[in-house]
Amino acid sequence: MSWAGFKKSVNRAGTTLLQKTGQIERTVDREFTEEEAKYRIKAYWDAMRAMTSAQSRIAETLETFYGAADRSSEGAMAGHAYKRSVDDMDTTFTRELDVPFRTTISEPLGKMCAYFPVVNEHIAKRNKKLLDYDSARNKLRKLIDKPSEDPTKLPRAQQEHDECKEMFDMLNDQLIAELPQLLDLRVPYFDPSFEAMIRMQAKFAEEGYEKLSGVQRYFADNVRDDYAAGQLDAQVEGILQEMRELSICGGN
Amino acid sequence: MKGIGKALARTPFAVTSKIGMSKKSVDPEFDDYHRHFTSLEQAAEKLIKDTKAFSEGVTSLFTAGAGFATHFSVIFQPIAGEFDLIGKHPDASHTILNVTKYETAMQELRELIGPELELIDTRIAGPAKELQSVMKLIRKTITKRDHKLTDYDRFNNSLTKLRDKKEKSLSDEKNLFKLEQDFEIATSEYEYINNALKQDFPRFMMLATQFIDPLFNSFFYMQLNIYYLLLEKMNSFADESKFDVSNAPGAQIAADYESKRSDAWSIIENLGIIKRIVSVCKSLSRLVQQTRAQNSQTGLGRQPSTATSVASGSSLRASAPPSRSVSSGGYKKAPPPPPSNSLQAAPPPPYTPSFSGGSTASASAAAATKRAPPPPPPLKPKPKPAPQIKYVVALYDFAAQADGDLTFNAGDRIELVEKTQSTEDWWTGRLNGAQGVFPGKCSLLFQCI
């Protein structure tokens, strides 16, 4: 059911439940929050994967550049070391963190999100039963006020009324008893996911940092300072300029 | 216009050379350089693409990270009307207290990352695009060289053909002279451009390698810095909120998670409202069972009257969500018996085969008594002059709960053997050769065809 449709049906059916507990609105908010969290966490994970695989591809491209002229230069060695470390990162990430991520975060979130449509179904069903109950009650009242000539009509209406009431009460009582529980249980349910998330994020950062920083050994001593001073950018610019001055770039 | 004329003049040659009629010259040295250059072109394009993918990955990592933190922290904030979450869930207090800090940390991180991404864009992607435009110029020169080569081959072919001609006419002689001149021009033009390329290619390749060195180094440090920012933030957050983030294998993290997982999972899984509506019938029939048990205890035959249905209605309300008032707070320590267990634990309905209510000739009593012994195969139960078979369609699943019950699935067509006026009773039906009783209680759930 759509969002608006859901709200409408709640309103239409009369809002006893809403008034009694205020739970429906909250349920709706929950559903929204958790759906959103699920969506974000998936994006987060996809982004990590995108990062590590883009790194690997960049490393591959570097090798093509180094391969163009001199395979044994210092730069080529560093490029090679870099490739090894980012590949390592990529495989570690998929091999070591993929499954834990699914167990600790993705699945719990997905599961909780999957519950909501069913809960909504219950709410919708309860609302429908309320309508049935209302109409059965009306019918019964009319028969009592103005008895029919057919003597079997009243007992039948009574029975129908009782059945509707029973059905409605059952659904209603169940919702009133269980909705607050479900909402309350979210806290212990999601609690351990938080720590797992923190640990995996920290692990991703730490491994990434450590594996990468090892590559620095292959750089010339001055590179770090040159980078900080913006020297590297100047070098890049200079080389581009030299390229442009080549006769084959002159158009003729 | 001049270009079109040239292109037209070249076309016949392109065709004949393709089908192998005319000779085409090759310069292996040039071809080798050309191959290299093409791979560099592709590399530059890939570099631009992947740098972009990396940047986008980082952006999305930090945006999604912040978004997740925000929404996750909302989960742990009191919902309207809730109070004292920590008091209710002391085990989760660590999380509850820290989600907001986490949210802040992730927001800050997202802002910190902006300048780094800016750097990647201007200092890496920018120069890579510059390189690409330089290569486009070179590509143009290569195309031109290819055209000149075509001209050279074309004149060369015509010239050879004409020279080989045995008897030359006057106009042939004239043409020959002109062709010789054209060929000479084409040769020098082609050689000039071909040599220029061959001369500059090695230089360009060298420059390309020199270009990639500082670019790679810059990118490396930017990348390292991104991981560093993330690591720093995570560490400072973990320090502040006392999380142990020492690098553990992923499997360990998952194992720790499992051990910390409370039984909130199983409690939630046992809630009725997260089960598909089918469960309504089941719980109904459970209730029926209870009522039936009560009735058989009191030994009263049920009257299919409105009075009893109201009564059972109220008993239903009293016991419907049976013993599910879970004491909040103690999820880990004292797992309350899951509702389904408590139901099973309740003694199975004692169907005493008492004929006590012999006088009550109500069909319900008949149904009850029939339950006691394994139902005799009532193939011809009564000499009823009603050979017309009636069916009901099950609207819900029903699983047998005692011997003699009929199990069926929603949608099954059940042959009605015996039915009473009241839906409070158990009806007898036949399905797939098996005969048994099922709750007419689910009167709402069946439709007579």
Q: Does B218 touch chain A (CB under 8 A)?
A: yes
Q: Which of B123, B203, B264 sits opposite A246 (nearest CB)?
A: B203
Residue B171 CB burial class (10 angstroms; 0-12, 13-18, ≥19): exposed
Q: What is the pLDDT of residues A43-60, one digit of tens each?
A: 888 888 888 888 888 888
Structure tokens at A24: 């429906």
Structure tokens at B39: 């791979």
Structure tokens at B393: 């369609």
Give A20's pLDDT tier (boundaries 50, 70, 90): very low
Q: How far is A39 from chain B (nearest CA, A)?
A: 8
In single-letter form, the type of residue at position A122 comes to H
Q: How far is A225 from chain B (nearest CA, A)?
A: 11
Q: How far is B327 from chain A (nearest CA, A)?
A: 10
Q: How far is B437 from chain A (nearest CA, A)?
A: 21
pLDDT tops 60 at residue B374: no
Say whether the ipTM exceeds 0.85: no
* 3-class SS letters over B386-438: CCCCEEEEECCCECCCCCCECCECCCCEEEEEECCCCCCCEEEEEECCEEEEE
Q: Do A240 and B211 touch (CB under 8 A)?
A: yes
Please report the pLDDT score of residue B345 as a whole number: 34
Give B139's pLDDT tier (boundaries 50, 70, 90): very high
Structure tokens at B270: 């046992």
What whole-number distance in Å separates Cα of residue B408 and Cα of residue B40?
A: 70
Please report the pLDDT score of residue B299 as a whole number: 40
User: Best of A27, A191, A222 to disrupt the B interface by mutation (most B CBs within 10 Å)?
Assistant: A191
Q: What is the pLDDT of residues B186-219, one digit of tens each?
A: 999 999 999 999 999 999 988 988 898 899 999 9
**pTM beyond cutoff 0.90:** no
Residues 346-405 of B with CB under 8 A from A: none
What whole-number distance in Å separates Cα of residue B203 and Cα of residue B201?
A: 5
Q: Do B264 and A188 touch (CB under 8 A)?
A: yes
**Sole residue written with tokens 């109220």:** B314
Contact assessment for residue A242 and residue B204, using Cβ atoms and an 8 Å cutoff: no
Residue B430 or residue A192, greater confidence: A192
What whole-number distance in Å separates Cα of residue B314 and Cα of residue B292?
A: 14
Q: Do B219 and A58 touch (CB under 8 A)?
A: yes
C-alpha dist (Å) from residue B62 to A47, B3, B65, B109, B268: 9, 53, 5, 7, 32
Please report the pLDDT score of residue B306 as a whole number: 40
Please report the pLDDT score of residue B227 as a whole number: 93
Please report the pLDDT score of residue B309 as a whole number: 38
Q: What is the pLDDT of residues B337-361, one digit of tens each?
A: 333 333 333 333 334 344 444 444 4
Q: Do A177 and B219 touch (CB under 8 A)?
A: no
Architecture of domain B390-446: Roll (2.30)
Contact assessment for residue B423 and residue A164, using Cβ atoms and an 8 Å cutoff: no
Please report the pLDDT score of residue B395 as a whole number: 64
- Nearest residue on chain A to B236, judged by CA atoms? A202
Residues 11-30 of A with CB under 8 A from B: 22, 25-26, 29-30
Q: Delimit the domains of chain B by residue range.
A: 26-241, 390-446
Q: How far is B14 from chain A (nearest CA, A)?
A: 23
Report the first-to-last Cα separation within chain B, whole angstroms. Answer: 86
Q: Do A251 and B141 touch (CB under 8 A)?
A: yes
Chain B residues near residue A17 by CB distance under 8 angstroms: none
* 3-class SS letters over A7-32: HHHHHHCCCHHHHHHCHHHHHHHHHH
Give B15's pLDDT tier (boundaries 50, 70, 90): low
**Sole residue written with tokens 């909402």:** A183
Please report the pLDDT score of residue B349 as a whole number: 38
What whole-number distance in Å separates Cα of residue A171 and Cα of residue B197?
A: 83
**CA angle, corner B346, sides to B342 and B351, nearest 5?**
155
Structure tokens at B234: 């995570």
Q: How far is B354 from chain A (nearest CA, A)?
A: 29
Contact assessment for residue A47 and residue B58, using Cβ atoms and an 8 Å cutoff: yes
Task: Spell out the domains of chain A, with CATH numbers in brackets.
Answer: 38-212 (1.20.1270.60)
Q: What is the pLDDT of residues A138-191, one digit of tens each?
A: 888 888 888 878 888 888 889 999 998 898 888 888 888 888 888 888 888 989
Residue A84 CB burial class (10 angstroms; 0-12, 13-18, ≥19): middle
Contact assessment for residue B198 and residue B30, using Cβ atoms and an 8 Å cutoff: yes
Q: Which of B102, B127, B253 sits opposite A236 (nearest CB)?
A: B127
Is A238 strand, coil or helix? helix
Mean per-residue pLDDT, B424-443: 72
Q: How many residues does chain A have?
A: 252
Chain B residues near residue A121 by CB distance under 8 angstroms: 276-277
Give B136's pLDDT tier (boundaries 50, 70, 90): very high
Residues 31-60 of B with CB under 8 A from A: 36, 39-40, 42-43, 46-47, 50-51, 53-54, 56-60
Contact assessment for residue B238 and residue A202, using Cβ atoms and an 8 Å cutoff: yes
Q: Do B57 and A115 touch (CB under 8 A)?
A: no
Q: What is the DSSP letter of A73?
A: S
Residue A148 CB burial class (10 angstroms; 0-12, 13-18, ≥19): exposed
Beta-sheet pairing, B426-431 with B446-448 = unpaired
Q: Do A103 and B57 touch (CB under 8 A)?
A: no
The domain defined by B26-241 folds into Substrate Binding Domain Of Dnak; Chain:A; Domain 2 (1.20.1270)
Contact assessment for residue A195 and residue B243, using Cβ atoms and an 8 Å cutoff: yes
Q: Do B272 and A174 touch (CB under 8 A)?
A: yes
Of B289, B273, B278, B275, the C-alpha closest to B441 is B289
Q: Does B264 touch chain A (CB under 8 A)?
A: yes
Q: Does B322 touch chain A (CB under 8 A)?
A: no
Q: How far is A27 from chain B (nearest CA, A)?
A: 10
C-alpha dist (Å) from residue A112 to A35, A79, A223, B274, B279: 9, 45, 51, 10, 19
Mean pLDDT, all residues of chain B? 73
- Nearest residue on chain B to A123, judged by CA atoms? B273
Q: Which of A30, A78, A196 sits opposite B257 (nearest CB)?
A: A196
Q: Does A235 touch chain B (CB under 8 A)?
A: yes
Mean per-residue pLDDT, A55-74: 79
Q: B98-116: b or e for each residue (b if 16 or more CB lie within 10 Å)?
A: bbeebbebbbebbebbeeb
Q: Does A208 touch chain B (CB under 8 A)?
A: yes
**CA angle, corner A172, sides to A167 and A173, nearest 5?**
100
**Sole residue written with tokens 């008032």:** B325
Q: Which of B72, B205, B230 sits opposite A194 (nearest CB)?
A: B72
Residue B307 or residue A134, greater confidence: A134
Q: In this complex, how many residue pairs, one in chain A and one in chain B, have their CB atoms less than 8 Å apart? A: 392
Q: What is the pLDDT of residues B34-72, one digit of tens each?
A: 998 999 999 999 999 999 999 999 999 999 889 889 888
Chain A residues near residue B251 by CB distance under 8 angstroms: 96, 99-100
- Nearest residue on chain A to B231, judged by CA atoms? A205
